[in-house]
Amino acid sequence: MSADSQTLYSQLPSVDTLLRDETFQPLLENYGAQLVTQTLRRLQQQARDSIRVQQQLPAWCENWALAVDHQLSLSQKDALQQVFNLTGTVLHTNLGRALLAEQAIDASVMAMRHSVTLEYDLDGAGRGHRDRAIADRLCELTGAEDACIVNNNAAAVLLMLAALASHKQVIVSRGELVEIGGAFRIPDVMLQAGCELTEVGTTNRTHLKDYRQAINENTALLMKVHTSNYAIQGFTSAVEEAELVTLGRETGVPVITDLGSGSLIDMAAYGLPAEPMPQKLIADGVDLVSFSGDKLLGGPQAGIIVGKRALIEQLQNHPLKRALRCGKMTLAALDATLQLYQQPEKLAQALPTLRHMTRTEAEIHACAERLLPPLQQRFAKQFNVSITPCQSQIGSGSLPVDRLPSIAITLMPHSGKGGELEALSQQCRALSRPVIGRISEGKLWLDLRCLEDEKGLLHALLQELRP
Grouping H, G, I as helix, E, B as strand and the rest as coil, residue 196 is: strand
Query: In the predicted model, is pLDDT for residue 460 greater than 60?
Result: yes
Percent of the chain that is helix, strand, coil (3-state, to 5): 50, 20, 35
Count of residues in the chain: 467
- The arithmetic mean of pLDDT across residues 30-57, rounded, is 92
Q: What is the pLDDT of residue 174?
A: 87
The secondary structure of residue 330, as a DSSP letter, is H
Query: DSSP letter string over 287-312?
Result: SEEEEESSSTT-SSS-EEEEE-HHHH
- The arithmetic mean of pLDDT across residues 248-272, rounded, is 92
pTM score: 0.87
CATH topology of domain 102-350: Aspartate Aminotransferase; domain 2 (3.40.640)
Q: What is the pLDDT of residue 397?
A: 59
Q: What is the pLDDT of residues 83-114, one digit of tens each?
A: 999 999 999 999 999 999 999 999 999 999 99
Is-contact 289 307, C-beta < 8 A?
yes
- The arithmetic mean of pLDDT across residues 420-426, rounded, is 93
Q: What is the pLDDT of residue 3?
A: 58
pLDDT bin (cut points 50, 70, 90) of residue 395 is confident
Nearest to 434 by CA among 425, 443, 442: 425
pLDDT bin (cut points 50, 70, 90) of residue 235 is low
What CATH number should be reported for the domain whose range is 84-93+356-464?
Answer: 3.90.1150.110
Q: What is the pLDDT of residue 180?
A: 63
- The arithmetic mean of pLDDT across residues 442-466, rounded, is 94
pLDDT bin (cut points 50, 70, 90) of residue 419 is confident
| Angstrom distance (rounded) from CA 317 to CA 332 | 22
pLDDT bin (cut points 50, 70, 90) of residue 325 is very high
Q: What is the pLDDT of residue 184?
A: 66
Q: What is the pLDDT of residue 15?
A: 92
Is-contact 424 461, C-beta < 8 A?
no
| Angstrom distance (rounded) from CA 411 to CA 409 | 7
Domain boundaries, the chain: 3-76, 84-93+356-464, 102-350
| H/E element, 179 | strand 179-180
Q: What is the pLDDT of residue 400?
A: 58
Least confidently predicted of 47-61, 427-441, 445-459: 47-61
- Indicate the burial class of 2 (C-beta count within 10 angstroms; 0-12, 13-18, 19 or more): exposed
Q: What is the pLDDT of residue 260?
A: 86
Q: What is the pLDDT of residue 464?
A: 86
Task: Provide CB contacts within 8 A for 47, sequence distance 6+.
Answer: 12, 57, 58, 61
- The arithmetic mean of pLDDT across residues 133-144, rounded, is 95
- The arithmetic mean of pLDDT across residues 113-124, rounded, is 89
Q: What are phi and psi of 84, to 5 degrees?
A: -90, 115
b or e along 180-195 (b: 16 or more beta carbons within 10 Å of the residue's beta carbon)? Answer: beeeeebeebbeebeb
Pairing of strands 196-200, 169-173: parallel
Q: What is the pLDDT of residues 326-346, one digit of tens each?
A: 999 999 999 999 999 999 888
Q: In what order do the strands lie in the sheet with 169-173?
A: 146-150, 303-307, 288-292, 255-258, 219-225, 169-173, 196-200
Query: In the predicted model, is pLDDT for residue 179 greater than 90?
Result: no
Query: In the predicted model, is pLDDT for residue 309 greater than 70?
Result: yes
Angle at 226 between CA 224 and CA 231, to 5 degrees: 130
395 torsion bin: left (phi>0), alpha (psi -120 to 50), beta (else): left
pLDDT bin (cut points 50, 70, 90) of residue 10 is confident
Give Cα 281 distance to the centre of its chain.
Answer: 25
| Angstrom distance (rounded) from CA 85 to CA 438 | 10
Q: What are phi and psi of 386, to 5 degrees?
A: -140, 160
Q: What is the pLDDT of residue 273?
A: 84
